Amino acid sequence: MMVLVTYDVNTENSEGRKRLRQVAKACVNKGQRVQNSVFECLLDPTEFAIFKDEIEKLIDPEKDSLRYYFLGKNWKKRVEHVGAKETYDPEETMVI
């Protein structure tokens, strides 16, 4: 199943910035980063359940937001992209 995962992590303090790094790392391991905080994750239901549990333990539910969009079988028809394909990752070191 294709699940779009989007997040907003409150980075007002160092704990928030740590949560952001942790959530991003968990998402990078499970999906395709299509934008900075938007991931397309092709997972089976068991993998998704484990992933969901993992990232929901990382966020602060009072401050951070996670959204899942279940795009279904015909997910490719539901997506349209415009503009730059590659996104920068402010958390990672750039290698030139």
Do you know the residue count of the chain? 96
- Select from 29, 36, 50, 92 the one that contacts a copy of itself (CB under 8 A): 36
**8 annotated ligand-binding residue:** yes
Please enumerate in sequence order all residues whose Cβ is within 8 A of that of 22, keeping only pairs 6 or more positions apart, or say none. 58
Q: Does residue 39 sit in helix, strand or coil?
A: strand
Q: Are 23 and 89 in contact (CB under 8 A)?
A: no
Q: Is 70 in the site for a copy of itself (CB under 8 A)?
A: yes
Considering beta carbons, is residue 44 or 62 the nearer one to a copy of itself?
Answer: 62
- Select from 1, 34, 42, 43 the one that contacts a copy of itself (CB under 8 A): 34
Quick one: residue 10, left, alpha or beta (phi over 0 = left, psi -120 to 50 = alpha)?
beta
Spatial distance between the Cα atoms of 31 and 67, rounded to a whole number of angstroms: 15
- Select from 13, 29, 35, 50 the one that contacts a copy of itself (CB under 8 A): 35
**Binding-site annotation: residue ranges for Mg(2+):** 8
Binding-site ranges for a copy of itself (CB under 8 A): 4, 6-8, 10, 34-38, 56, 59-72, 77-85, 87-88
